[in-house]
Amino acid sequence: MITLALYNIKGGVGKTAGCVNLAYLAAQEGKQVLIWDLDPQGAATFYFEETAKIKGGIKKLLLGEAPLADAIKPTAFDNLSLLPADFGNRHIDGLLDDLKQSKKRFKSLVAQLQGHYDYLFIDCAPGVGTVSEAIFAAADVVLFPTIPTTLSIRTWEMANTFFTDNQLSTNKLYAYFSMADIRKTMHNDTMAQFYRNKQFLKNYIPYLSTIEKMGSHLAPVAHFAPSSYAAQCFRDLWKELKKQLG
């Protein structure tokens, strides 16, 4: 099983859209795929019209009082399952802080899924804390959607510094440009500059109204608009990412 975490320090960068669409494309290839929605806002959960069903929520999962399998739900799409978000996820940093060896505890939760899924996609909450550190340790790839602007690039550089300072391998840290508007000079210039960085994937996701319509269709772009430019962009990004995964 390959674990991919979609993460950014800041919100509003297209993280959940990337997570849902890439996971859907993997499932369409016949792979068994699970999305774990760890963002308290629960956008991925909303897209699939699901709610959490474990009494006690994330706390019981972290404490090992409820197996992950009991919280996982099928979606309307073949091969794609969801571990829904719970609003209690907003307390997850504190819960992990109270646990001994919290990084190992989270990694052991992920290990429960080994053999059941080909891919695990984690939709992370924005910010930096105990839970993000635990996810970084457990993930095979940390995928960083980045708007081609100064402030967004700054968060990318902060993430690289954090990985280095905490002895985490930057080899697992990749970025792709998200919500890119090639009509803007800054976006074009930023993308041209950072495409020289081998951590940046060459395919990008443009700022398109089709992607925003996921909220009204409650489905991945490639499902409700398979011939759209947006769907093709996600397919191209997934194809490139698979090559990086080997």
Q: What are the tens digits of pLDDT across the range 11-53?
A: 899 999 999 999 999 999 999 999 999 888 889 999 998 765 5
Residue range 213-236: average pLDDT?
Answer: 97
Q: At a CB cut-off of 8 Å and minimum separation 6, what does 108 contact?
A: none
Choose the most confident range, by mean pLDDT, from 67-76, 87-96, 176-185.
176-185
What mean pLDDT comes out for the span 163-179? 92
Decide if pLDDT at 65 tops 70.
no
Percent of the chain with pLDDT over 90: 59
Predicted local confidence at residue 97, as pLDDT: 53
Residue with tokens 């090559």: 243
Cα separation, 140 vs 2, whole angstroms: 6
What is residue 130's predicted lDDT score, i.e. its pLDDT? 75
What is the rounded average pLDDT of the residues 111-140? 89
State pTM to two decimals: 0.91
CA dist 38 and 58 (Å) reads: 9
Domain count across the chain: 1
Strand order in the sheet with 33-37: 73-74, 80-83, 33-37, 119-123, 2-6, 141-146, 173-180, 205-206
Residue 93 pLDDT > 70: no
* Residue bearing the bigger pLDDT, 239 or 162: 239
Instruction: Kindly report, residue by residue over 103-117, the tens digit of the pLDDT.
Output: 677 788 888 899 999
Q: β-pairing, 80-83 with 73-74? A: antiparallel
Dist. CA 86–CA 168, nearest whole Å: 28
Q: What's the domain range around 54?
A: 2-245
Find out whether 16 and 7 touch, Cβ atoms under 8 Å: no
Looking up residue 170, the CATH number of its domain turns out to be 3.40.50.300
- What pLDDT score does 127 carry? 80
